[in-house]
Chains A and B, each alone.
Chain A
């Protein structure tokens, strides 16, 4: 019997994706396109929030959307119906988007005419948190009906996001969702996370969030 040898490897498993995402970010910096990755569980209101956000930014920046779904065109159709450039990626069972898939989505949009591209990631609080998409900012939605305990259950998602949107606040009077507890739990995991309370249905709170985004995008576009 041959002797068993040990080979040192010390390699990151996600290296390929991390390299691709870093390169994508660099290229988008050059082409002056701000990439935003929006994540949440299914039904938290990603598509409606995107529409309301674009509306609230009032045409000050040109925005496109990459929609990712396991298998449907529903979301892209909804966005395109409003006259917004949209591309649908069917992930065919994949639970998240990675940098190569985002790159493919970007190819379907004319980046010369866009200042901001919003990725609507696959509805899932687990896997999308693990993959760098090449985005400049990561944003997540937690909706009131999901409960205020989600930061405890999906800590990684809350750790990787720059912004938390607490959506469907119009449901608060009917719910035992504790906003202060949810915010404290999220801040505990990620002290730098920005939190906005919104209702994508009534439009409440959208203005403050849209202003924050507008400021970030403008700052990025004005970088030398």
Chain B
């Protein structure tokens, strides 16, 4: 639901990096978004197309990679990945204990961009 705000940040960051790198046109922006985020790729692109009109990022493609949810077991410190659907039943695969802490899966970052 807040795709618009997130998209605005993406555009601002991309434009901020452009002058120093003498960018004439932004072709693609590569993002990593955690699996736990509810953001929809399609909407991020649609908002981006709307917001970027008239800027050097117009027509840039957003390439979104979803980063996995990672947990760390509170008792044996084992780190493991889980799928979003498995979140209903978290259990350390090493010691079968249920107390685990989320270590990744909420991130939003821009990795790099392809420019001319």
Q: Is the CB of A4 within 8 A of B27?
A: yes
Dominant secondary structure at the A interface: mixed
How many chain A residues sit at the interface, stated as a range, is 20 to 34
How many angstroms from the CA of A13 to the CA of B7 in the assembled complex?
A: 9
**Cβ contact of A12, chosen from B36, B89, B107, cutoff 8 A:** B107
Q: A130-B2, A188-B89, A188-B98 are in contact. Are A10 and B109 (CB under 8 A)?
A: yes
**Cβ contact of A4, chosen from B2, B106, B114, cutoff 8 A:** B114
Q: Is the CB of A9 within 8 A of B1?
A: no
- A181-198 CB contact bits vs B (8 Å, 1 = yes)? 000010111010000000
Q: Is A48 at the interface (CB under 8 A from chain B)?
A: no
Q: Is the CB of B2 within 8 A of A95?
A: yes
**Cβ contact of B90, chosen from A5, A126, A189, cutoff 8 A:** A189
In the complex, which residues 129-186 of chain A have their Cβ closer than 8 Å to any Cβ of chain B?
130-131, 151-152, 155-156, 159, 185
Q: Is A8 at the interface (CB under 8 A from chain B)?
A: yes
What residue of chain A has the Cβ atom nearest to residue B69's Cβ?
A: A155
Q: Is the CB of B88 within 8 A of A14?
A: no
Q: Is A57 at the interface (CB under 8 A from chain B)?
A: no
Chain A interface (Cβ within 8 Å of chain B)? Answer: 2-16, 94-96, 98, 124, 126-127, 130-131, 151-152, 155-156, 159, 185, 187-189, 191
Chain B interface (Cβ within 8 Å of chain A)? Answer: 1-2, 5-6, 9-10, 13-14, 17, 21, 23-24, 27, 31, 36-38, 74, 87-90, 98-102, 106-116
